[in-house]
């Protein structure tokens, strides 16, 4: 496979790979490293990519597995928590603080979810994958995906309601 073919196939979903890695590893630097490793592995094996019907799903699975391996390794104890700064110069300071607070709360809530629920929620609601694609990536039954997603959404909803109603009787 030529470089231009590889770029045309892989680069459209590069950001999805990064977001998946970021959700699992938390650290932006670790997520960038993971994404680069997966892209390098894809490039190294680009001649055999034609055998995969859905290269994107294959790459997402590779990213998930790589990140989980990183978390299980000894180096996982050295991972740093780094918060992302979302910048938009046209937004008022108050609005920026509110958005940052909401994003921070969503990340905290999502990080409290069991791993399976967190992955399903990320893939379905953030990355917008279909149930059958998620089933292939996570090697799960579509019914189990719906159950995990429902439970994850319910937990997130309850935690957000609890946060917003704090101190109000």
**Stronger pLDDT, 91 or 43, i.e. the higher one:** 43
Q: Report yes or no on 71 lying in a domain.
A: yes
Of 51, 78, 105, the residue at which a domain comes to its end is 78
Summarised one tens digit per residue, pLDDT across range 35-60 is: 999 888 888 877 666 666 778 888 88
Residue 73 tokens read as: 């390794």
- What is the domain count for the chain? 2
Of 21-25, 85-89, 93-97, 139-143, which one has max mean pLDDT? Answer: 139-143
pLDDT confidence of residue 81: 41
Residue 117 tokens read as: 């629920």
Q: Report yes or no on 23 lying in a domain.
A: yes
Beta-carbon contacts of 28 under 8 Å, excluding residues fewer than 6 positions away, are 22, 82, 84
On whether both 72 and 99 belong to a single domain, the answer is no
Query: 141: burial class by Cβ within 10 Å (0-12, 13-18, 19+)?
Result: exposed
Q: Report yes or no on 31 lying in a domain.
A: yes
d(CA 46, CA 126): 27
pLDDT of 88 above 60: no
Q: Which CATH number characterizes residue 59's domain? A: 1.10.1740
**Stronger pLDDT, 3 or 70, i.e. the higher one:** 70
pLDDT confidence of residue 80: 43
Q: Report yes or no on 169 lying in a domain.
A: no
On whether both 127 and 71 belong to a single domain, the answer is no
Which residues form the domain of 136?
93-164
**Residue (of 94, 87, 140) closest to 117 by Cα position:** 140
Are residues 35 and 18 in contact, defined by beta-carbon separation less than 8 angstroms?
Answer: yes
pLDDT confidence of residue 120: 93
Q: Determine what percent of the chain is predicted with pLDDT higher than 70.
A: 80
């Amino acid at each position: 496979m030529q470089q231009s073919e590889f770029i045309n196939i892989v680069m459209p979903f590069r950001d999805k790979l990064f977001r998946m890695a970021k959700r699992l590893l938390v650290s932006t630097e670790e997520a960038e490293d993971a994404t680069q490793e997966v892209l390098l592995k894809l490039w190294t094996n680009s001649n055999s990519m034609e055998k995969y019907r859905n290269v994107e799903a294959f790459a997402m699975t590779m990213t998930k597995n790589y990140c989980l391996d990183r978390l299980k390794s000894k180096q996982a104890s050295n991972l740093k928590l780094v918060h992302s700064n979302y910048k938009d110069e046209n937004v008022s300071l108050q609005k920026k603080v509110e958005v940052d607070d909401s994003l921070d709360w969503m990340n905290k809530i999502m990080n409290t979810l069991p791993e399976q629920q967190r992955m399903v929620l990320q893939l379905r609601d953030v990355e917008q994958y279909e149930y059958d694609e998620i089933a292939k990536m996570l090697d799960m039954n579509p019914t189990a995906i719906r159950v995990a997603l429902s439970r994850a959404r319910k937990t997130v909803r309850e935690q957000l309601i609890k946060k917003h109603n704090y101190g109000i009787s």
